[in-house]
Amino acid sequence: MTYKSDFLNILEQRGFIHQCSDFDALDAKLCEGIQTAYIGFDPTAQSLHVGHLTGQMMLYWFQQSGHKPITLMGGGTGKIGDPSFKDKERQALTDESIQANIDALEKTCFQQFLTYGDGDTDALMVNNNDWLDELKYLEFLRDYGRYFTVNRMLSFDSVKQRLERESPLSLLEFNYMVMQGFDFLELNRRHGTILQMGGSDQWGNIINGVDLGHKADRVKLFGLTAPLLTTPDGKKMGKTEGGAVWLNKEMLSPYDYYQYWRNVDDVMVGTLLRRFTTMSISEIEKLEALQGQEINEAKKVLAFEATQMCHGEAAAQEAAATAQKVFEQGGVGGDLPTVPVSHAALSSGIAMLDLLIEAGFASSKGEARRLIKGGGVRINDEKVSDEACTVSADHMNGDSIKISASKKKHALVKVA
């Protein structure tokens, strides 16, 4: 489908469009001049992860199309937690921990993708605690509660699935969708925001805000969602056996971030190039046409471009150089993850089983033993066959010891 607005055309070409509350009206509105849109992020950790990248890129392209993006930090809703598709109520966070998370997210996860400032199209960061914390409960119920029916709230997938699994859903969590709907109304009042975006699992919450704007203030608001990305085996993008793929380099090194993209499934390369790089569609189409072993070249481009987008060109170049040295030249890359050990421990010898766990290659000694039995464990590229093997100072190669589990997992043991 072809749109009149640059923004919707870009999203269409890059696979970001799933649902919209009114395509034609939104398309026309985007052609009238600078508009404002937002996506909400709950500050439950000091980093976003790859699962948040779709929203990041939607805001990026919104700004590149000449509009103003808002990153809404859920300082208020974060105290409740989104019940969507979860089995347990989220652990409550203190005001101090929420603010610390917001500060970390601003520096490490947003400024790489958006330009903030005072200009007409500069991004704006807003905290919904500014208005939610001041609400008087009875007045809020009187003024806005009448616009939400329990019948409809129970019909949303996020709630239905929770109830079908017979998982408790507290009144606190049930209020989340009401709070999110009010956020949209408040952002329209304060900043003229006309569009909320998010993943397809947020559709119900977004539509609540669209409806509330119409009923409370008689304003036309819009909702737009992107399809959720899943791996070929049906899992959500953004998690590995080792945990979340964080965007904060203090929580996941640029090299590990690069390797995540380098190792994606072949069938996903084209989709990920469109979603998470700024390459032209014509360049992407050339890479999508590669077959067989040539697809690895497309994966290298994806890994470099995605890492550059998140961590900058220098970090991407260093990660690519380390990967080439480790995988293509059989060397030791300086950007590999490190396992710090004491001089005393290394002198007496450290069990290989313990190092595999410390490096994140195994979650237990049983799993570490299976890795060794499978023949995938190496010290300085030499195969380890003895489960009782210890690593000592005798293995030092320069200032480090390279340990590996399979062909894709490597780390350097260094004296701290």
Is position 240 annotated as part of the catalytic site?
yes
Q: Tell me the two tokens of residue 327.
A: 């995988």
Q: Pick the catalytic residue from 18, 189, 215, 236.
A: 236
Q: Pick the catalytic residue from 201, 266, 354, 381.
A: 201
Task: Please name the amino acid found at residue 380.
Answer: N
What does the alpha-carbon distance between residue 315 and residue 311 come to, in Å, rounded to a whole number?
6
H/E stretch holding 410 reads strand 409-415
Q: Pick the catalytic residue from 18, 29, 52, 365.
A: 52
Is position 239 annotated as part of the catalytic site?
yes
Q: Pick the catalytic residue from 215, 220, 239, 378.
A: 239
Whether 320 contacts 300, CB under 8 Å: yes
Q: Pick the catalytic residue from 44, 121, 231, 317.
A: 44
Mode of pairing for the β-strands spanning 401-405 and 409-415: antiparallel
Q: Pick the catalytic residue from 35, 180, 193, 196.
A: 180
What secondary structure letter does DSSP report for 388? T
Q: What does the H/E/C string look like for 168-181?
A: CCCHHHHCHHHHHH
* Full DSSP string of 21-37: S-HHHHHHHHTSS--EE
What does the alpha-carbon distance between residue 125 and residue 131 come to, in Å, rounded to a whole number?
14
Strands lying side by side in the sheet with 124-127: 19-20, 222-226, 195-199, 36-41, 68-73, 124-127
Q: Tell me the two tokens of residue 117.
A: 């400032």
In 272-384 the beta strands, taken as DSSP E runs, fall at: 338-341, 350-351, 377-379, 382-383
Query: 299-324 b/e with 16+ CB inside 10 Å = b?
Result: bbbbbbbbbbbbbeeebbebbbebbe
Is position 86 annotated as part of the catalytic site?
yes
Is position 44 annotated as part of the catalytic site?
yes
Is position 90 annotated as part of the catalytic site?
yes
Q: Pick the catalytic residue from 49, 68, 262, 311.
A: 49
Q: Pick the catalytic residue from 13, 240, 317, 390.
A: 240
What secondary structure letter does DSSP report for 409? E
For the chain, the 3-state helix, strand and coil shares in percent, each to the nearest 5, are: 50, 15, 35
Is position 300 annotated as part of the catalytic site?
no
* Full DSSP string of 218-256: ----EEEEEPPPB-TTSPBTTEETTEE-BSSTTTS-HHH
Q: Pick the catalytic residue from 6, 29, 64, 90.
A: 90
What does the alpha-carbon distance between residue 40 and residue 183 come to, in Å, rounded to a whole number?
9
Q: Which residues contact 34 (CB under 8 A, 6 or more apart)?
A: 66, 67, 68, 120, 121
Q: Pick the catalytic residue from 86, 214, 369, 414.
A: 86
Active site residues: 44, 49, 52, 86, 90, 180, 201, 236, 239-240
